[in-house]
Amino acid sequence: MKKLLVYLKDYKKETVLAPLFKMLEATFELFVPLVMAAIIDQGIQGENVPYVLRMGLLLIALGVIGLTCSITAQYYAAKAAVGFSTKLKHALFAHIQSLSFTEMDQLGTSTMITRMTSDVNQVQNGVNMVLRLFLRSPFIVFGAMVMAFTIDVQAAFIFVVTIPLLSIVVFGIMMITMPMYRKVQAGLDKVLGSTRENLTGARVIRAFNKEKEEIEGFEEKNRALADMQLFVGKISALTNPVTYIIINVATIVLLYTGAVRVDEGSITQGQVVALVNYMSQILIELVKLANLIITITKALACANRIENVIELQSSMEWEITDGARKEDRQQEYAVEFDHVHLTYAGAGAESLSDIHFKVKRGQTVGIIGGTGSGKSSLVNMIPRFYDASIGSVKVDGRDVRSYGMEELRRKVGVVLQKAVLFQGTIRENLQWGRPDASEEELWRAVEISQAREFVEQKEGKLDFMIAQAGRNLSGGQKQRLTIARALTGRPEILILDDSASALDYATDAALRKAIRDMENDMTVFIVSQRASSIQYADQIIVLDDGEMVGLGTHEELLVSCRVYQEIYYSQYPDQAEATS
C-alpha cells in the first residue's frame, strides 16, 4: 500500500482537512453528554426552564456545527479518494501498456481487468473511509474514556476494561479475514475470466451446443466464490454481535455502578446519563471502526494485488534513440536472423530453434508450415514482441534491441492473425497507422487492401461507424481494413500474419499483386497456410516443429523440401498425380 500512496501527493490539502474536520465534529460530539448532564442536574431538577432552553439551543448549535464539519470532511475525503483512484488507474494502465507480451501472457487478461476495476474501487473506498473515520473513531473512543474520568474515576475504569476487549475482538477478526479477502479476489478473477471467455466465444459455444457445460462450469466457479465470500462474511459478521455483547454487559455494569455511586452521593443522575451516553458513543464508533477495519482489510488485499502488477517489470528494455539513421536505408539486408532460438517464459521446450536467414530490401518472403510450427513466433520477433533467447534479429543491419520502440515500430507494419478493429469510424481506425495521413493516402491504402469496393458502399464511407471489435463487418472486411491500417503507416517492412485467411483466392491474389506494385521498396513477409499465397515470393521459409527445414523459391523447394512437397501437393492433388 505504501507505494500506492504516492498518488495521494497532489491531494495533501484534502488528506489533512478531511480528518481535521472529522476531529472537530468528534470534539463537538463529546460535549453533548456533558450538556445533557447539565440539563438534567441543573435545569430539570432545579425546574429552571430558561436554562433548559439555553442548553437546548446549545445542543442544536453543536449539532449544526458538527453536521457542517461532517459534510466538509466528506467532501474533501471524496475528492482525495476519487482523485487518488483516477491517478492510480492511469498509472496502472500506463504500466500495463509498458509490459512486454511475456508479462501480459503471465498475468492474463481477466486478472488485469479485475485489478484495473474492482481492486482499484476497493482501494478507493478504503482511502475514503480512512480519511473520514480512521482518526475520528479512535478519538471518540479514547475521548469518551477521558471524559468519563472527568466525571467519575471509579465508573471510568469500566471503560478501561471494555475498550481493550473490544480492540482484541476487532483486530483479531481483521487478522483472520485479511488473507481470506485475497482468496476472494483471486476467485473473482476466475469468475471474470470465465465470463469473458463465454461472452467472446458465445457463437462458438452455441455452434457446438455447449451452453449447458459452460453454464455448469460458470456455476461451479461462481459457487466457489460465493462459498468463500460467505465464509469470510460469517467471520466478519461476528464483529457486530460480539461488540454489542461486550458493550451491553459494560453498560449493565456501568448502570449498576452508577446507581450505587448516586446512592452514595458521589455523582449525580445527569452524570450517570452522561456516562451511559459515552458508552453508547463508544459502541457506535467501535461498530463503525469494525466496518472500517473490514473495508481496510479488503482495500489492503486489493492494494497488494495492484502493487504486484506495478512491481512487475518488463523483461524487455528499450533504447532511447534520436530516430532513424540515414545509414539504415543503405543496408543491403532489411531483416536478418542470426541463429535465433526462442523459448517462451514457463515453456518446457524451444518454440524456435536455430533460425538463420537474410532478406534483402524489397523482397517478398513467404513463411509456411504446419499448425504450431512457429510461423507467428518467427514474425513476432521482427517488431520485437518477443526477444530471442539465443542469437539476434537485425533490422537494417541493427539488432532490434538497439532500437527505440517508436523507431522500430515505425519501420514495421504488422497485421496479426486475429483481425482487431476498435469502436469508431473507418477513418479513425486507419489513422492508427499514421494520424496525419491525408484523405488521398487513406483511400490509397483502402484500394491496395482491396477494401475500396465495400467501403464506398457503406453509409458515410470512411466515416462509417465500426462497432466494438468490428461486429458489424464480416471477417474478410475486417482483415482488409487491418491491412489498410498497416499500409497507412507506410512501413518499410510489412508482416501479413495469415491475415488473408478469410479472403477468397481472387481477392487474395489481387491483394498480393497490389502490394507488389507499390512504388516503394517495401519488404513483405507473408505467413500463410495456402501455398498459392506464397508460391511467387522471392524466397520461402518452411518451418516444421520450430525448425527451418527449407529455404528457397517455390520451384527449388518442390525439388528439395519434403515438408513443402507434402503441404503443396495436399492442396493441389492433381499436380501430385501429374508428377508421379
User: For the segment 384-398, what is each residue's pLDDT rounded down to a tens digit?
Assistant: 888 888 999 999 888
Say if CB 22 and CB 129 are below 8 A apart. Answer: no
**449 phi, psi to nearest 5 deg:** -80, 5
The pLDDT of residue 321 = 67
The pLDDT of residue 294 = 75
How far is 36 from 39, CA to CA, in rounded Å? 5
Which of 251, 278, 311 lies at the terminal end of a domain, its last residue?
A: 311
- Whether residue 136 is predicted with pLDDT greater than 60 in this model: the reply is yes
When pLDDT is cut at 50, 70 and 90, the band that residue 177 belongs to is confident
Residue 184 lies in a domain: yes
Which of 251, 277, 311 lies at the terminal end of a domain, its last residue?
A: 311
pLDDT greater at residue 133 or residue 579: 133
Annotate 413-469 with DSSP letters as a single string.
EEE-SS----SEEHHHHHTTT-TT--HHHHHHHHHHTT-HHHHHHSTTGGGPEEPGG
Phi and psi based region of residue 435 (left: phi greater than 0; alpha: psi -120 to 50; beta: remaining) = alpha
E-strand spans in 350-473? 352-360, 364-369, 390-395, 398-399, 412-415, 424-425, 465-466
When pLDDT is cut at 50, 70 and 90, the band that residue 148 belongs to is confident
What is the residue range of 237's domain? 2-311
The pLDDT of residue 196 = 79
Say if CB 95 and CB 306 are below 8 A apart. Answer: no
How far is 531 from 529, CA to CA, in rounded Å? 6
Does 351 lie in the same domain as 409? Answer: yes
- Whether residue 578 is predicted with pLDDT greater than 70 in this model: the reply is no
Does 406 lie in the same domain as 293? Answer: no
The pLDDT of residue 57 = 92
Residue 319 lies in a domain: no
Quote the number of domains for the chain. Answer: 2
The pLDDT of residue 576 = 61
When pLDDT is cut at 50, 70 and 90, the band that residue 337 belongs to is very high
Say if CB 279 and CB 239 are below 8 A apart. Answer: no
Does 297 lie in the same domain as 340? Answer: no
- Whether residue 1 is predicted with pLDDT greater than 70 in this model: the reply is no
Q: Report CA 18 to chain centroid distance, whole Å.
A: 29
The pLDDT of residue 78 = 93
Question: What number of other Cβ atoms are within 10 A of residue 36's Cβ?
Answer: 17
Residue 322 lies in a domain: no
Residue 539 lies in a domain: yes
Residue 270 lies in a domain: yes
When pLDDT is cut at 50, 70 and 90, the band that residue 79 belongs to is very high
Does 414 lie in the same domain as 502? Answer: yes
- Whether residue 541 is predicted with pLDDT greater than 90 in this model: the reply is yes
Average pLDDT of the residues of the chain? 85
The pLDDT of residue 305 = 84
Residue 317 lies in a domain: no
Residue 316 lies in a domain: no
Does 222 lie in the same domain as 86? Answer: yes
Which of 256, 285, 311 lies at the terminal end of a domain, its last residue?
A: 311
Q: What's the grid cell of residue 292?
A: 472500517
Residue 110 lies in a domain: yes
Mean pLDDT value across residues 221-226: 89
pLDDT greater at residue 43 or residue 578: 43
Note the pLDDT tens digit of each residue in 20-35: 998 898 888 888 888 8
The residues, ordered by sequence, that sit 6+ positions from 487 with a Cβ below 8 Å of its Cβ are 413, 433, 445, 448, 449, 494
Does 530 lie in the same domain as 469? Answer: yes
Does 335 lie in the same domain as 301? Answer: no
Measure Cα distances from 277 to 23, 281, 411 in Å: 19, 6, 75
- Whether residue 579 is predicted with pLDDT greater than 70 in this model: the reply is no
Question: What number of other Cβ atoms are within 10 A of residue 480's Cβ?
Answer: 29
Among the ranges given (105-119, 324-338, 541-555), the one the predictor scored with the smallest mean pLDDT: 324-338
Does 62 lie in the same domain as 10? Answer: yes
Does 277 lie in the same domain as 372? Answer: no
Say if CB 341 and CB 388 are below 8 A apart. Answer: yes
Note the pLDDT tens digit of each residue in 368-426: 988 888 888 899 999 988 888 899 999 988 898 888 888 888 889 888 888 888 889 99
Does 223 lie in the same domain as 97? Answer: yes
Does 270 lie in the same domain as 165? Answer: yes
The pLDDT of residue 341 = 92
When pLDDT is cut at 50, 70 and 90, the band that residue 532 belongs to is confident
The residues, ordered by sequence, that sit 6+ positions from 151 with a Cβ below 8 Å of its Cβ are 37, 267, 271, 274, 275
Mean pLDDT value across residues 339-350: 84
- Whether residue 580 is predicted with pLDDT greater than 60 in this model: the reply is no
Does 6 lie in the same domain as 98? Answer: yes
User: Tell me, what CATH number does 186's domain have?
Assistant: 1.20.1560.10
- Whether residue 332 is predicted with pLDDT greater than 70 in this model: the reply is yes
User: Tell me, what CATH number does 518's domain have?
Assistant: 3.40.50.300
Mean pLDDT value across residues 169-177: 79
When pLDDT is cut at 50, 70 and 90, the band that residue 328 belongs to is low
- Whether residue 242 is predicted with pLDDT greater than 60 in this model: the reply is yes
The pLDDT of residue 324 = 54
